[in-house]
């Protein structure tokens, strides 16, 4: 699990980072992608109602 609060990444994996281009566009960066990184990733905004977006990373 990766948890971020704004640009601060709370993770045991230093290969993950988050940047934002503006208040509406956030990007998750994974350096040195490995097979263990494959799977679903979700971005969640704690608004009322909550907003979320899910993406799947496939490693080939």
Ordered structural domains, the chain, with CATH = 3-57 (2.60.40.10)
Averaged pLDDT score across all residues of the chain: 86
pLDDT at 1 over 80: no
pLDDT average, residue stretch 11-29: 84
pLDDT at 35 over 90: yes
| pTM of the predicted model as reported, rounded to 2 decimal places | 0.73
pLDDT average, residue stretch 6-27: 81
Alpha-carbon gap, residue 15 to 10, rounded angstroms? 12
């Amino acid at each position: 699990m990766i948890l971020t609060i704004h640009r601060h990444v709370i993770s045991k994996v230093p290969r993950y980072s988050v940047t934002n281009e503006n208040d509406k566009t956030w990007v998750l960066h994974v350096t040195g992608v490995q097979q263990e990184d494959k799977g679903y990733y979700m971005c969640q905004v704690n608004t009322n109602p909550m907003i979320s977006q899910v993406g799947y990373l496939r490693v080939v």
